[in-house]
Chain A
Amino acid sequence: MCLGIPGQIIEITDTDRYMGLADVSGVRREVSLLPVTEGPLDDMVGKWVLIHVGFAMAVIDEDEAQKTLEALRGLGEAQETLEQMAEGDKALEEVR
């Protein structure tokens, strides 16, 4: 659970909360940009980040992103993280 997953920021969704939409291996997920935003929030669009439990924790270059994804796939962690994201979406819809 301590390994982050790389994703690319494709748009800013909420400037007040510092949220952006990330593309993570083809899956779109809203993430917090609070840990990595230094200048204007819009500058984050297009950047690759290492995402850990919904927070962008480090800006990385694209080459590093690809290598990290490959390592995560090797460990079975990439698929696991994507499943956890889907599980999170499901938890929101569950009604009791």
Chain B
Amino acid sequence: MRYVEEFRDPKAAKSVLAAIAQVADEIGATRDKPVHIMEICGGHTHAIFRYGLDKLVHDGIEFIHGPGCPVCVLPRSRVDECIELAELPEVIFTTFGDAMRVPGTKKSLMQAKADGADIRMVYSPLDALELARRNPDREVVFFGLGFETTTPSTAFSIQQAAREGLTNFSVFCNHITVPPPIKALLDDPHMVLDGFVGPGHVSMVIGVHPYDFIAQDYGKPLVVSGFEPLDLLQSVLMVLEQIRDGRAEIENQYARVVPEHGNPASLAAISEVYEPRPTFEWRGLGEIDESGLRIRDAYAAFDAEAKFGIGYGAAKGRAVVEEPEGAACGLVMTGRCKPTDCPKFGTGCTPEMPLGALMVSSEGACAAYYQYGGARATEAAE
């Protein structure tokens, strides 16, 4: 139990682990007949591996890693489009650092930058706005990427650009939403999911009610969770208790940060600037209805897709790009197989030379297995 000692409060962790074990026994969960709990968020996946939670909990509990890593679900064709935009001579292309190493079909943004494209890593879309103010003769494009946690930041930035009358700032919008892919996974007859641990910082923005359908229509529990190890353990316990009691509810373990109805100012900005696309493409999951956002016509002047005719919704259409040859990104993405089941894992695909995005981001399941898997093997041998 080496990892428990790293917890801020090892005693509390041990007591929650004991409670988990007891409830798991009560519902008859075993290694051969486990309870499948999906942690949706890539940040949770990272924390589970960092603290070895999957090894610490009762062996009748199996974590299924969900699609909540924004760069991991990005199809390669979107990366290609970013590079196409970035290579336009008038463009300064700005992006969060997370997207830099994600492979496109030919290269990554990092490689495109090395080849001469003006690509700049920023911390915030506010940095991109400032670049637009300082470079009136250039077109500053910000790569709008991420789930509901990140969406308000680009919505507020577009509103600010409109107020200032900036004409050289636009967002390449590839924002996505959490609930639709969860519905797609629940509708998939191959998936066995008994409950969910929900992303806390997404609910900080959207609240807990967008998940009501999971309890009401599918009869599955979901607990919105913080990302400290103890938060995650408590959330797992809450899911198990619901299963034991025959309940299916949306509960909030992270109420100290997550308001029931989310953040009103952020929700207002999102709905003023964005609207759902009829459908959007996800790596590994394919097209999912109303799972992506586009910029409303009222803000078309700030829409890079409309401005440059490049992107998922652009008039000239889009290429459908296959997965990297021999890799199982799609199956891992949807929790159908473990990273180590992929023939390319650790040989053809490593964090240094990634084939797919799951190996790039610290929130990707493959990178988590790779980073923390080695240490575990050593420990087992000791």
Contact = CB atoms under 8 A, between A and B. Distances in A.
B156 A55 contact: yes
15 contacts: A1-B363, A2-B146, A2-B363, A4-B149, A52-B153, A54-B127, A54-B153, A61-B256, A71-B228, A71-B229, A75-B227, A88-B123, A89-B127, A91-B120, A91-B127
Interface residues of B, number: 54
B202 interface: yes
A49 to B, nearest CB: 11
Contacts of A45: none
A34 B156 contact: yes
B98 interface: yes
A88 B124 contact: yes
A67 B118 contact: no
Interface string A76-96: 110011001101110110101
A1 B126 contact: no
B315 interface: no
A53 B229 CA distance: 23
B130 interface: yes
Task: Tell me the interface secondary structure of chain A in the complex.
Answer: mixed
Interface of B: 6, 8, 41-43, 46-47, 50-51, 68, 70-71, 92, 94, 96-98, 118, 120-127, 130-131, 134, 146-147, 149-150, 152-153, 156, 160, 199, 201-202, 204-205, 227-229, 256-257, 263, 265-266, 269, 361-363
Given A3-B227, A87-B122, 19 more contacts: A1-B96, A1-B361, A2-B41, A2-B70, A4-B201, A34-B265, A35-B265, A50-B204, A52-B153, A57-B152, A57-B201, A61-B256, A68-B228, A75-B50, A84-B96, A87-B97, A88-B123, A91-B121, A96-B92
Nearest to B134: A92
Interface string A22-34: 0000000110101
A6 to B, nearest CB: 10
B199 A2 contact: yes
Contacts of A81: 123
B257 A50 contact: yes
A5 to B, nearest CB: 10
A84 B256 contact: no
Given A2-B42, A3-B227, A64-B256, A85 B123 contact: yes
Nearest to B258: A58
Given A1-B146, A3-B43, A91 B122 contact: yes
Contacts, number: 132
Contacts of B205: 57
A55 B205 CA distance: 12
Contacts of B146: 1-2
Nearest to A1: B98
Interface of A: 1-4, 17, 29-30, 32, 34-37, 50, 52-55, 57-58, 60-61, 64, 67-68, 70-71, 74-77, 80-81, 84-85, 87-89, 91-92, 94, 96
B241 to A, nearest CB: 24
Contacts of A1: 70-71, 96, 98, 146, 150, 361, 363
Given A2-B149, A2-B199, A35-B265, A91 B96 contact: no
Contacts of A91: 94, 120-122, 127, 131
A53 B202 CA distance: 14
Contacts of B98: 1
A53 B201 contact: no
Contacts of B266: 35, 57
A-B residue pairs, 6 tightest by C-beta? A54-B124, A88-B123, A91-B120, A88-B127, A71-B228, A84-B123
Contacts of B47: 71, 75
